[in-house]
Amino acid sequence: MTTARTPTTTYPMTIFHKPNCSTSRNVLGLIRESGVEPEIVLYLETPPSKKKLRELAKAMGMGARDLLRTKEAPYEALGLADPKLTDDQLFDFIVANPILLQRPIVVSPRGTLMCRPWERVREILPTA
């Protein structure tokens, strides 16, 4: 069994979090177990700006389409599968419908990751 470290603020981490998502909860648990208390962005309540979405996508080496949750109702209703839609347009849709944002996204000094599967967060946790 792993012992949790005393929470620290010296290792800045941010998680774009949805509390009722099990993957997001698992990622948050691993971060806390590592001894870090991250900044938690409840992105459904406080959606990231278009500029922030661009920064996150760039940091992960992804395009806007990679950030989309394709199984959410707005995806089909808004016709977001259309390959003619640009990243700029897709970012606008995510800002207007934050439920479309794939999660959890974690930002740390070691990188920015879409933590799916949730174990991926280990790649950017502080080293012992």
Whether 21 is a known active-site residue: answer: yes
The whole model's pTM is what? 0.89
| Beta carbons of 7 and 32 less than 8 angstroms apart | yes
Tally of CA atoms within 13 A in the half-sphere of 122 that contains its CB? 4
Separation between Cα atoms, residue 18 and residue 108, nearest integer Å: 18
Separation between Cα atoms, residue 43 and residue 50, nearest integer Å: 13
Question: Catalytic pick from 14, 21, 26, 78?
Answer: 21
Question: Two tokens at 35?
Answer: 């001894």
Each residue's pLDDT tens digit, 59-114: 999 999 999 999 999 999 999 999 999 999 999 999 999 999 999 999 999 999 99
Specify the CATH superfamily of domain 14-124: Glutaredoxin (3.40.30.10)
